[in-house]
Structure 1
Amino acid sequence: MTGSWFPELHTLAHWAAGRLGTDYDMGAPAWVHPLMHLILVLAPSLLFVSILALLFHAARQALQRHERRGPRRQTPARIGGLERNLLRQILRNTRRQQVGLLLLSLSLMPPLYLSLEMPKQIVNNVLEPSADPAEVFGLTLSQMQMLGLFSAIYLVAIALNGLGKYSLNTCKGRVAERLLRRLRLLIYRQWRRRPPPHRQNDVVQVLGAEVEPIGGFAADLIALPVTQGGTLLTILLFMFLQDPILGAAALTVLPVQLVLLPYLQGIVNRLSRERIRAMRVLTRRLAGQLAPEQSALLNIRQTAASLRELERIRYRIHRIKFLAKVLNNFLTSLTPFLFYSLGGYFVIEERITLGALIAVLAAHKDFSAPLKELFRYYQQLEDTRIRYREVLGFLIEGRGALVEGATEPGRV
C-alpha cells in the first residue's frame, strides 16, 4: 500500500479529504490512494511553490531593470507623443472604454453559471424515472413541464452568453481600431517632421506589422483577464460545489503549466526581438536597392542572406510555439482521466450523483479554454511590450536617446 511507503503523505491526504467532507478509508481500491495523494497534497504543494517561484522571478527581473537604469536621468516623459510606458499609453487613450469593457465582461458570468447548472438539474431532477412533480413559484409542474422549463432556462442562458460575447468583441474591435489609428498618426507625424535624409525607409514596417498588435492588446488589456479569469473562477466554483476533490483535481496540472509555459515564452520573446530586427534589415536593404549605383550581385547576396536569417528565426519560433501547444494540450487532457477514474468511484460509492459528474466533465471541457486564453494573454503582453519598445526605439533613432528597457538601434 502507498500508505506504508509514505505514512506522512498518507495521513495528510486523509486529513485533507476529511476537511473537504469526502473521507475515504483503507477499504478503498489501491489506485485511489495515489490519486488522492496527488490531488490533495502533491499538486497543491507544487502549485504553492510554483507561484512563489514566479513571484521571485518577477521581483528579480524588476530589480535587474532598476539596476540597469542606474541614476535617473532627465528624459522626456513622452517620445513623439507616445508615453514611455505601454500601459500608461493605452489607459491614457482608452480609460473610459476600458470601464465599459470591464462591466460587459462581468455581465457574462451569471449566464455562464446557469448554463453549467441547468444540465445537472435536468439529469438529477427531471430525467429520473421516479421524479415527483415539483412546485415552482407556487405552481405545481409535472416532469414534462419541468423539462421544458429547465431547457428554456438553459437556452436563455446560452443565448445571453452569446449575445454578451458578441457585444464585448464588437466593443473591443472599436477600441483596438481607434487606438491603432492614433498610434499610426503619431508615428507618421513624428516621421514627417524629420528632414528627408533622416526619414527611415522602414516606416511602412513600423506602421503595419509592428504597431498592429498594440491595438489588439489595448482591447484585451482588462476585458480578456476579467472575462477569461472570471470564466475560470466560475467553472472552478461550480466544480467545487459539486465535489471539492474533483474541483481540486482540475488544478492538478496547473503547477507544471505555470512553470513550463512561461519558460518557453521567454525563448519566444527573445526570438521575436530578433525577428523584428531582421525584418527591418531586410526592409532597408530592399529600399537601398532603389539607388542605381548599387551592385546587383551584392544586392542579391544581401537579400538572400536576410531571407535565410528571417527563415531561421521564424522556424525556431514555430517550433517553440508548437511544442508549448502540444505540451499544454497533453497536460490538459490528463485531468479528465482523474474525473473518469476518481469521479466514477465516487458515483459508484454514491458520494456524488451521476448528474454532478456529467456536469463536472462538461464544465471541464470549457475549463481549459480560458486557461489557454490567460496564457495567451501573458504571451501577448510580453510580445506587445517588445514591439512597443522597438517602436519607441524607431522614434528616437538618431537622436542619441535610449528607451527604458529597449535596445539601441542597430544593436543585435
Structure 2
Amino acid sequence: MTLSPYNLPTTLFRYIWAVSWQHQIALVGLTVIAFLLEIVPLELQRRVVNNLVKERPFHIVIALCAAYAGAVFVQGATKLGLNVYRGWVGENATRDLRRHVIGYSKLARAAAFGADVQGIGAAMIVAEVEPIGGFVGGSLSEPLLQAGVLASVLAYIVHLDRWMAMAALGLFLPQLIFVPVMQGAINRRANARVWLLRQLGISTVESGSAVGQEGSADAKRIDRVLHLNMGIFKLKFSMNFFMNFCSHLQVVAALLIGGWMVHTDQLEVGGVVAFISAVGRLNDPWGDLVNYFRDLSLTQVKFGLIADRINESLATPGVRNVEDRGVVA
C-alpha cells in the first residue's frame, strides 16, 4: 500500500466531499428520519396524560404506552445506526489523512528537510488528524440533525399553545446574543493553541531545544497554552451555565402560563406536560449546534495547516524528485 501523498483540497468541505460524498448523502437521509421521529414521543406523552385525567378506559393508555415504547425504540435505533455510520466515515477519513502525513514526512526527510518537518509531522499525527477525521463523519449530518430537532420541537410547541411558545422563545432569544460572542472568544483561543502546539512539536524534535534561549521559549509557550486552556474552560462552562439557566426559565414560564390556562380550562394538563418535555429537548440540540460550530472553526484551522504544509512540500522540486525516484512506497 502506497503512503505517497497527493495534493489535498484547499478547503475542509472540499476534502469531506472528495473522500465521503456517497456516505454523506446516506447520512443525510438517516438524519432526516431521526429528527422527524423526535416529536412522536411528545405527542404520545400528551395523549397518555390526557386519557388518564379524563378517566378513559385504561386499555387506551396501555396501547399508547406501547406505542410510545415502540417509537422511542425506533428513534433510538435510528440514531444508533447514524452514530455508528458516522464513526465509520470519520475513521476512514482519519486513515486517509494519516497516510498523507506519513508519506509527507518520509518524502521530506528523504529530501533532507530540517527537523521542523519531523516536529510538524508528529504534531499533525498526534493532535490534528484525529479530530479532523472525527469531524468528517458528522460534518453534514450533525448540524442537520440538531437544526431539524430544534425546528420540529419548536413547531410542536407552537402547535400546543402559541402564548407559551412566545414566552419560551422570548427567553431563548438572549442565547442568540451571548452564545456567538462567547463562542467567538473560545474559537480565537483554540486557534492560538493549535499554533503554539505546532511550535512545541518543532522545538521538541530539534536538538538542544531543552536548554538555552529555545528552552525558555518553550516554557513560555507551555505557560501560554495553560492560560489559553483555562480561558477556554471558563468561557465554555460559563456559556453552559447561562444556557441551562435560560432553559429552566423556559420551564418556569411554561408552568406559570400553562398552569393558568389549565386553571381556567383553556388547556389540558397533557399539553403542559408535553410542553415542558419539549422545552427540555431544546437545550441539547442547541448546545450541540454550538459545539458543532466551535469544532468547525477549529477543524478548518487544523485542516488548512495540514493541507498547506503537504501541498507546499509536494510543490518543492527536491521533494518531487525524491517521489519520482520512488523513495516512498
For the aligned pair, the TM-score class normalised by the smaller chain equals 0.7 to 0.9
After superposition, where does 1:6-405 map in structure 2 within 5 Å? 80-129=6-55, 131=56, 143-194=57-108, 195-198=111-114, 199-289=117-207, 296=211, 298=213, 300-395=215-310
Q: Which residue of 2 aligns with 1:5?
A: none
Q: Distance in 2 between matches of 1:200 and 1:214?
A: 20
Q: Distance in 1 between matches of 2:312 and 2:26?
A: 37
Offset at 1:396? 5.0
Offset at 1:200? 3.4
Offset at 1:397? 5.8
Q: Distance in 2 between matches of 1:310 and 1:222?
A: 31
Q: Is the Cα–Cα contact under 8 Å of residues 224 and 377 in structure 1 kept in the other structure?
A: yes
TM-score (norm 2): 0.86
Offset at 1:191? 2.9
Offset at 1:90? 0.3
Amino acid at match of 1:164: T
- Gap change, CA 1:397 and 1:326, over 3 Å in 2: farther
Q: Is the Cα–Cα contact under 8 Å of residues 168 and 250 in structure 2 kept in the other structure?
A: yes
Offset at 1:113? 2.0
Amino acid at match of 1:99: I
| Secondary structure of 2:64 counterpart | helix
Amino acid at match of 1:354: V
Amino acid at match of 2:89: V
Alpha-carbon displacement from aligned partner over 1:271-318 (angstroms, at most 9, x marks no partner):
1221112112222222224x5xx7745565344223212212222222
Count, aligned residues: 308
Q: Is the Cα–Cα contact under 8 Å of residues 35 and 149 in structure 2 kept in the other structure?
A: yes
Offset at 1:172? 0.3
Q: Is the Cα–Cα contact under 8 Å of residues 6 and 314 in structure 2 kept in the other structure?
A: no
Q: Which residue of 1 aligns with 2:327?
A: none
- Gap change, CA 1:253 and 1:389, over 3 Å in 2: farther
Offset at 1:393? 3.5
- Gap change, CA 1:315 and 1:156, over 3 Å in 2: same
Q: Is the Cα–Cα contact under 8 Å of residues 10 and 308 in structure 2 kept in the other structure?
A: no
Offset at 1:127? 4.1
- Say which one has the larger Rg: 1
Amino acid at match of 2:72: I
Alpha-carbon displacement from aligned partner over 1:48-97 (angstroms, at most 9, x marks no partner):
xxxxxxxxxxxxxxxxxxxxxxxxxxxxxxx9421011111101111110
Q: Distance in 1 between matches of 2:53 and 2:84?
A: 39
Offset at 1:253? 3.0
Q: Distance in 1 between matches of 2:36 and 2:194?
A: 43
Q: Distance in 2 between matches of 1:295 and 1:90?
A: 39
Query: Which region of structure 1 is more displaced relative to structure 2, 386-395 or 275-284?
Result: 386-395
Bigger relative contact order, structure 1 or 2 (CA pairs below 8 A, ≥6 apart): 2
Structure number with higher helix proportion: 2
Offset at 1:400? 9.8
Alpha-carbon displacement from aligned partner over 1:187-219 (angstroms, at most 9, x marks no partner):
322332221334332211112211222112211
Alpha-carbon displacement from aligned partner over 1:6-37 (angstroms, at most 9, x marks no partner):
xxxxxxxxxxxxxxxxxxxxxxxxxxxxxxxx
CA RMSD in angstroms, aligned pairs only: 2.2
Amino acid at match of 1:147: V
Q: Is the Cα–Cα contact under 8 Å of residues 114 and 157 in structure 1 kept in the other structure?
A: yes
